[in-house]
Structure 1
Amino acid sequence: MLAYIFRRLLLIIPTLLGILIINFVIIQAAPGGPVEQMIAKLEGFEGATSRIAGGGAEVSVAGSNYRGAQGLDPALIKEIEKMYGFDKSAPERLWIMINNYARLDFGDSFFRDAKVIDLIIEKMPVSISLGLWSTLIMYLVSIPLGIAKATRHGSHFDVWTSSAIIVGYAIPAFLFAILLIVVFAGGSYLDWFPLRGLTSNNFDELSTTGKILDYFWHLVLPVTALVIGNFATMTLLTKNSFLDEINKQYVVTAKAKGLSPNRVLYGHVFRNAMLLVIAGFPSAFIGIFFTGSLLIEVIFSLDGLGLMSFEAAINRDYPVVFGTLFIFTLLGLVVKLIGDLTYTLVDPRIDFDSREH
């Protein structure tokens, strides 16, 4: 097992490097980079003085450096390119980025005047809150519901719950979020929950119990919106896994020996059926953590990693784009390895070394 883990960890390096290179090449072909955006901003402030973000140098747009319809002074453009590192060729910039990332140095944001790692740490609580609680609640609902559907396959309960699941799966999470706001956040009916933020303005003045209650009070609506749109797949996976195991010969043999239905279900079927479900927990958490909360963050005014990454891509804030890409990809690869190792925890009979031999 240790040899398998070591090989998988070594494979992370070329995989991560390949992803960075592919995305770097794609970014080079995207129009409207940071240099072009800064030039457009300067050309839009005729007769004013603008400070170049992160450069610490004032540039007088009225006067010799500004030429109106003729554009900016070429020397000023060269200075902007140097400030953003675009005075070097693309291979040089790629090599510098890889060397810096190898030292876990992700640089500074072009437009936020802060280090990339500090921005990620600042936005992490929102994304962790949404991803963690959504995933836990999704599993707590999906697994019992999937087992109940499998043991009552074909009944009215199975039909009606399947209909509700399909409806929940078909409607996007952001539409549920809007519906929840209209109904429960002072939209048109009730005003039970806050509309924005992760905590209240007086959060620091509350007691420990008050802080915990305030935190979960703000999470009720966004987490509910995420859970409703994402628990269908896990429920059906659980149901189908149990149905597949229930129809196998060893279950018939266990019943023939006189074991009770619960003993057969939870003593024999459960471990085999839950293999795929439990082992997929790390990937499910990462999926909701990084890809499922952008619109939810926007709707509920939650400033998390999803919103930051989206704004960075729109503004061509390359240090934030590549820094978050590196960290998220590395975390995703490690979580994938953890997911594989979880198989051995659920079923000790699985041996990766024997499989390879």
Structure 2
Amino acid sequence: MVPTLFGVLTLTFVVTQFVPGGPVDQAMAQLEGESARTGQDGNSGSGSWNYSGRIGIDEKEVDHLTSLYGFDKPVWERYVHMLSQLVRFDLGESYFRNESVSTLIAGKLGVSVALGVWTFVLTYAISVPLGVAKAVRNGTRFDTLSSILVLTGYAIPGFVLGVLLILLFGGGSFWDIFPLRGLVSDDWDTLSWHAKITDYLWHITLPVTASVISSFAIKTFLTKNTFLEEISKQYVLTARAKGLSEKQVLWRHVFRNALLPLVTGFPATFIAAFFTGSLLIETLFSLDGLGLLSFESINARDYPVVLGTLYVFTLIGLLTKLVGDLAYMLVDPRIQFDRREA
């Protein structure tokens, strides 16, 4: 995990060295009131973090900004400084927002966590029972119709479905049922506790629906195929011969063995729920989360925020993979080689 984390940060740091229009250029463009230009009237066309040399700008101002952002130091020194900060979980200060990166991430994290957790929970809560039902009714009309619905949802991109939901239920062209901005109403603090729950669920319905529909297909068919494979094995016939009910056979015996592929896909599903398409969904439904923050920071060349959000994303991904490995080990003790040798 540690080498992977440092590898991701190092690669990102190196890539940012070659991105045209660095923070100094962005700051000078704001002062000039015009868009940043790169590769003109100067020698920043190679993509360095240096000022591109605009005519009429005081060189002392440029030198001050260069020193303020730390770009007057050698690249290796900036790299070591970045790593030393991140090791101490000090994400630094934003160049343009006058806030610490930790504060910015903490303020946006709730939106991304809400979308990610709901998407992840609903994906497993619906896909696993649906996959089991399809395996038990394999080849029936229910199996065929559910496959068509699941694959149709998988084929529709989340942001396209989001636009359709807004047109249908968000006051776009038909019914004005669900709100379109934020996770809660402006008067949320004045509501009773049950009204707060209702208000929150009302706001989260459309973005979660747009995020989760395309997630069902893979988990549903994986569950179905795994159950079909397990049902045909000898131990299932033995369990049925002992007089166990079909429910006991499925959920007490088959489910434990069929759970292994689902646990293996746990990290990928969790990470995808948090980060895949979050930018488009957050933008579409006016949700100010980490996806939108990262996108805006990349455009503004706000590198402390870019590196800070990437650091948080990578940590979450690595820890999730670790949890997935531990869960796999708990479900199937056979992979513990020390136990096998004992």
**Same fold by TM-score greater than 0.5:** yes
Q: How does 1:1-357 map to 2 (within 5 A)?
A: 12-44=1-33, 70-351=55-336, 353=338
| Counterpart-to-counterpart distance in 1, 2:323 and 2:341 | 18
SS at match of 2:173: coil
Q: CA deviation at 1:149?
A: 0.6
Q: CA deviation at 1:355?
A: 7.5
8 Å CA contact 2:128, 2:220 repeated in 1: yes
| Counterpart-to-counterpart distance in 2, 1:354 and 1:72 | 70
| Counterpart-to-counterpart distance in 1, 2:126 and 2:221 | 12
**Amino acid corresponding to residue 28 of structure 1 in structure 2:** Q
8 Å CA contact 1:291, 1:306 repeated in 2: no
**Closer, same or farther in 2 for the Cα pair 1:156/1:125, shift >3 Å?**
same
Could you list the runs of 5+ residues in structure 1 that have no partner in the other structure? Answer: 1-11, 46-67
| Counterpart-to-counterpart distance in 2, 1:209 and 1:305 | 28
8 Å CA contact 1:85, 1:93 repeated in 2: yes
SS at match of 2:17: helix
8 Å CA contact 1:43, 1:71 repeated in 2: no
8 Å CA contact 2:334, 2:340 repeated in 1: no
SS at match of 2:269: helix
**Amino acid corresponding to residue 15 of structure 1 in structure 2:** T
CA offsets 1:103-130 (integer angstroms, 9 cap, x no match): 1111111111100001111011111111
Could you list the runs of 5+ residues in structure 2 that have no partner in the other structure? Answer: 35-52
With the length of structure 2 as denominator, give the TM-score of the two structures. 0.89
8 Å CA contact 1:130, 1:223 repeated in 2: yes
| Higher mean C-alpha deviation, range 72-81 or range 188-197 | 72-81
| Counterpart-to-counterpart distance in 2, 1:299 and 1:235 | 27
Identity of aligned residues (%): 56
Across the two proteins, how many residue pairs are aligned to each other?
A: 324
Partner of 1:3 in structure 2? none
**Amino acid corresponding to residue 193 of structure 2 in structure 1:** T
8 Å CA contact 1:198, 1:215 repeated in 2: yes
8 Å CA contact 2:94, 2:100 repeated in 1: yes
With the length of structure 1 as denominator, give the TM-score of the two structures. 0.86
| Counterpart-to-counterpart distance in 1, 2:323 and 2:336 | 15
Q: CA deviation at 1:267?
A: 2.1
